[in-house]
Amino acid sequence: AAPEPVASFYSTSAAAVAGGIAARSLRIPSIGHVIWMSIQSPRLGGHAYVKLLNRLTDQFLACSSAVADMLSGFGTPDNKITVVHNGIPVAEILATEGQPSPIAGPHPRIGMVAAYDPRKGHELFVDAAAIVSARFPEARFFLIGGVLGTRAHRVPVAPRIGALHAARRKVDDERADLD
C-alpha cells in the first residue's frame, strides 16, 4: 500500500495537548475529543488548560452537552465544538427488543441515568434512596448505565436498588418507565 498524506490529527483526553502540538508541528488540523470534565477543577487550572487546548485544537468533539458547555464556559468558541455522544453497541440493544422492562411495575420508580464515575454522585443517589425509602417503603430505585460497586450493599435500601447496564437496554425506554 502506498503511504497516504496525513490530513488531520485526532487525539483524546490526556493526549489532547500532545496531539495538538503534533498537529501544529505537521501543519495539519487538530481534532481534540474531550470525554471528561475533570479538567475544570480547580477552576483556575481548568481555565488555563482549556486556553492552551484552544490554541492547539482546531475542532473539539465533546462527548456530551455538559462537556460542550464546560468548554464554552472556558472561552472555546461554539463553532469549534461539536457534540458526539459516546456510542453503545447496537447489537446488544437489539437483543433486548421485545423484552419487558425490568423497571416496570406498580411501585414508584426512581432512577439515575449515568455511567459510573465517582464524580457523578451515585453514592449520593444511594444515600437519598435510603432517606426516601424510609418514608415510601414501596419505592424502587434504579441506577441505569453503570454499576455502583460495593457502596449500595452497605445501606439498608440495597434490596430495592437495581443496577442496569445501559448497553443492555434502551436507555430511553428505561427512562420512560421511571416516575
Three cell numbers at 29? 488540523
CB-facing half-sphere around the CA of 16: CA atoms within 13 A: 24
What gap in Å lies between CA 158 and CA 140, rounded to an integer? 10
Position with higher pLDDT, 42 vs 30: 30
Taking Cα atoms as reference points, which of 78, 20, 79 lies closest to residue 8?
A: 20
Amino acid at 174: E
* pLDDT-based confidence at residue 146 (cuts at 50, 70, 90): low
Return the higher-pLDDT residue of 33 and 140. 33
pLDDT (tens digit per residue) in 117-144: 666 777 788 888 888 888 988 888 877 7
Predicted confidence (pLDDT) per residue in 96-106, tens digit? 777 777 777 78
Specify the higher pLDDT residue, 147 or 88. Answer: 88
What secondary structure, in 3-state letters, does 127-175 show? HHHHHHHHHCCCCEEEEECCCCCCHHHHCCCHHHEEEECHHHCCHHHHH
The confidence score (pLDDT) of residue 129 equals 84
pLDDT, greater one: 14 or 146 = 14
Query: What is d(CA 89, CA 83) in angstroms, rounded to the nearest whole number?
Result: 19
Nearest by Cα to 158 from 148, 167, 168: 148
> Judging by beta carbons within 10 Å of its beta carbon (0-12, 13-18, 19+), is residue 164 exposed, middle or buried?
buried
Given this model, what pLDDT does residue 113 score?
77
Cell output for 24: 501544529
Helix (H) or strand (E) holding 30: strand 30-34
**What is the pLDDT at residue 69?**
93
Cell 468533539, located at residue:
61
pLDDT at 123 (0 to 100): 77
Note the pTM of the prediction, 2 decimals: 0.58
What is the rounded distance in angstroms from the CA atom of residue 174 to the CA atom of residue 166?
9
Half-sphere exposure of 95 (CA within 13 A, CB side): 8
